Amino acid sequence: MIRYELAVAVVLLGTSVAWGGTMDATYGNTVVSTDSKGVASTWYFDPNGRYTVKAADGASSTGHWIIKDDKVCSTPDAAAGQPAPAETCVAYVDGKAVGDSWTTTDGKGDSFTVAIKPGR
DSSP string, 2-36: HHHHHHHHGGGS--SS-S-THHHHHTTSEEEEEET
pLDDT tens for each residue of 62-119: 999 887 887 778 899 998 889 989 988 777 788 899 999 988 777 678 888 889 999 9
Gyration radius (Cα) of the chain, Å? 13
CB 105 within 8 A of CB 26: no
Q: Note the pLDDT of residue 14.
A: 38
Q: How many domains in the chain?
A: 1
CATH number at residue 62: 2.40.128
pLDDT tens for each residue of 11-30: 444 333 344 578 789 899 99
Q: Give the residue numbers spanning the domain of 6.
A: 2-117
Q: Note the pLDDT of residue 70.
A: 74
Q: How far apart are CA 103 and CA 119, in angstroms?
A: 21
CB count, 10 Å around CB of 114?
21
